[in-house]
Amino acid sequence: MPYRFYTVDVFTDRLFGGNPLAVFPDAQGLSGEQMQQIAREFNLSETVFVLPPEHPAHTRHLPTRCATSCETGG
């Protein structure tokens, strides 16, 4: 299944400055292992995967993976 993604620069006010990261706005269906493989492929400091919330009071679940084996976020 194809997944849409964006690359964005954060912590900057200019194009191609700051810290680049990848964002998958709809990552439903990806396993944790697949997310890690994708993050390694991008080789950016972080790759963010947007999922439905795990708690009803929240609007999104944002697991974040690094190119190395770190995992941050919910």
Q: Which residues are marked as active site?
A: 46
| C-alpha count within 13 angstroms, C-beta hemisphere, residue 8 | 13
**CA-to-CA distance for 59 and 55, rounded, in angstroms?**
8
Nearest Cα neighbor of 5 from 61, 33, 46 is 46
